[in-house]
Structure 1
Amino acid sequence: MAFTLPKLPKFSGRTIAVLAVAGALGVGAIAASASKQQQAAAPPKPADGQAAPLTADKANDQTSLEAAAAAEAKLAQCRSARLIPVNKTWGIPMPSVNGSSSTNCNLKYGDTPHRGSDRTGDPLTAIQVLQRNLNSCYGTKLTVDGIYGKNTRAVVTMVQRKHKIVVDGIYGPKTRSAMNWRLYSSATRSWSKTCSSPL
């Protein structure tokens, strides 16, 4: 038994044109609807000169970075400087907590050298150690005066931007860990020829 296909109706040229237009409009409507859904799901593009809006993840990351920076800003002033060992040969002279090898402290604008009425420790040396290192590793020409003034703050801000951390102009643990340092060897009494970020 042979199988035969049913006969299709014959359409005029005008009917075919109308059906083609209707089909194209239907496909166009579906594509436009899909495009609108994609645009609704995607974050809006910023206008020229504006920063890109934060997505939920980026906003959370930014909030946590800002919270960490705020916590660092509340740390005690660095009132000493110590050679912090990196290995058996080299160490890093860096600002530290007075009477401790801890470097969880900060230096900020207005430290000239002491902050507030507390006159303990040696923040002058801590600030000078930071200034010398900035000059050696970042090619700046800061006056090594032990005053955390506008020039020192500007250089710290530049370092923070360079290393993509929160830019607040305060030297603290995040800046310490991100920035490059010149190493010193007590055994040979010599400085490293290059700077690195060994922390």
Structure 2
Amino acid sequence: MRRTGRSRALLATGTLLGALMGVATAAVPAHAADGVCTGAASVQAGSTGRYFLYPINVADNTIYCYLQSGHTGPGVRALQKNMNNCYGKKLELDSVFGADTRSALRDVQNRIGAVVDGVYGRETLAKMQWARYGNETGAKYDCV
């Protein structure tokens, strides 16, 4: 098949557009597919009489969610509480993801070998230790 100058130009334009779209897709943050952590949930730790407290996305009922500066609510409070209990932070449990929470999270991310971006998402969730609390008293038992 013989290609004309116009068809070559269209092919080159399509190839360039595809390459640019691929670059744009690669630049999207990993957490973009997940919703905001709008709540918190207690998850039983087997039959140990203990539970974990995780930030969750209430609409999707999942722990795969994200938090960043400006967010507020129970998900932020659960993250703050966990950083205090497992990483020695002294955050006020105010449910506001402000400068102090962002700074504490960046420090934790650095310590656990996660990308240090100040955004809580899947990688930080997976690499963080999480506090286990006693069912009867709610007191911290340990961090795992």
| Fold similarity call, TM over 0.5 | yes
Larger radius of gyration: 1
Q: Does 1:82 align with 2:31?
A: no
Structure 2 residue corresponding to 1:93, chosen from 31, 44, 53: 53
**Which residue in 2 is equivalent to 1:191?**
139
- Provide structure 2 residue ranges, at least 5 long, that are not aligned to the other structure: 1-25
Aligned-pair Cα RMSD in Å: 2.1
| Alpha-carbon distance between aligned partners in 2 of 1:181 and 1:126, rounded to the nearest angstrom | 14
**Which residue in 1 is equivalent to 2:12?**
none
TM-score under structure 2 length normalisation: 0.73
**Which residue in 2 is equivalent to 1:169?**
118
**Aligned-residue offset at 1:190:** 3.8
What SS does the aligned partner of 1:83 have?
A: strand
C-alpha change, 1:68 and 1:131, in structure 2 (3 Å) is farther
TM-score under structure 1 length normalisation: 0.54
More strand by share: 2
Matched positions, count: 118
Q: More relative contact order in 1 or in 2 (CA 8 Å, sep 6+)? A: 2
Structure 2 counterparts to residues 12-91 of structure 1, below 5 A: 70-89=29-48, 90-91=50-51
**AA partner of residue 148 (structure 1):** F
- Provide structure 1 residue ranges, at least 5 long, that are not aligned to the other structure: 1-66, 114-123
* Percent of pairs with identical residues: 31
**AA partner of residue 96 (structure 1):** I
CA contact (8 A) 1:106 1:173 kept: yes
C-alpha change, 1:71 and 1:178, in structure 2 (3 Å) is same
Q: Does 1:180 align with 2:129?
A: yes
C-alpha change, 1:69 and 1:170, in structure 2 (3 Å) is farther
**Aligned-residue offset at 1:184:** 1.8
